[in-house]
Amino acid sequence: MKKTLLKTPPIGVPQNIERMIRGADAYDSSCSPEARVYYIDRDGGYFLKRAAVGTLEREAQMTAYFHKLGLGAEVLDYASGECDWLLTSRVIGEDCTHADYLSSPERLCDTIATTLRGLHEMDAPDCPVPDRTAEYLAFAEKNYTSGNYDKSHFPDSFGYASAEEAWRVLSEGRSALKSDALIHGDYCLPNIMLDGWKPSGFVDVGNGGIGDRHIDVFWGIWTLWFNLGTDRYRDRFIDAYGRDKIDENILKIIAAAEVFG
């Protein structure tokens, strides 16, 4: 986790949250242009997130739900005004980009694969997002219609030569996607917490809900490629997760959806 000590505390913090963090050292821990994330060094650690108005409401709901299941941080406060603020407790341990984990890639691969299978096997009948797949497909369609064809994170676009080809694959295959498992929605190494190789929770679960497990499987494969700089762990990840639950054809449909941002 990156931490840069701030000389002055975050500006514009809502009063209720400001009272909780007043006088504590604050560190910039941001890793995305869409949000600012601050680590607050108090009571074992808090994380304070600031983003555009309305963008953290879902994350607050799903974080609270994951915490209820024993899978994530406690939501301490959520406020929305000129922007959104979300204050949570710290999940113990370190995320999977820590050097101790990256230095053992085979063990890391197996750990995040089995951890993901465990998440997908959980019973979650009261999840506040009961059909994440429908939202996922609607988002891809909106971006296709508006011309948002984002290849920046996918150098070869998974073999799709154009937006039209990817859209054809997605349109023809979308009915194969289900909403039958609790998913994280952004299953990448920075969002998976381990405490001495033992899973301790998940962060950044705003894209979670009841959805298609292949969305998480796709990102699990992608994050190993991205963070380790090689695709050699793809088959190992699938084997560790369990090939009995993975359809390679559906992974191709997910890949088609993902190039639309």
CA dist., res. 71 & res. 75, Å (int):
12
Find all residues with CB under 8 Å of 160, minimum gap 6, and list them: 166, 169, 255, 256, 259
Q: Report the alpha-carbon angle 6-100-220, nearest 5.
A: 90
φ, ψ of residue 110 to 5 degrees: the values are -65, -40
What residues pair up with 50 in beta bridges, in sequence order? Answer: 36, 85
Alpha helices by DSSP H, 146-244: 163-173, 213-228, 234-241
The span from the CA of 170 to the CA of 253, in Å, is 5
As a whole number of angstroms, the distance between CA 141 and CA 167 comes to 8
How far is the C-alpha of 204 from the C-alpha of 51, rounded, in Å?
13
Establish whether 195 is a catalytic residue.
no
| Active-site position among 25, 28, 150, 186 | 186
Q: What is the DSSP string of 5-56?
A: E-SSPPTT--HHHHHHHTTSEEEE---BTTEEEEEEESTT-EEEEEEETTSS
Active site residues: 186
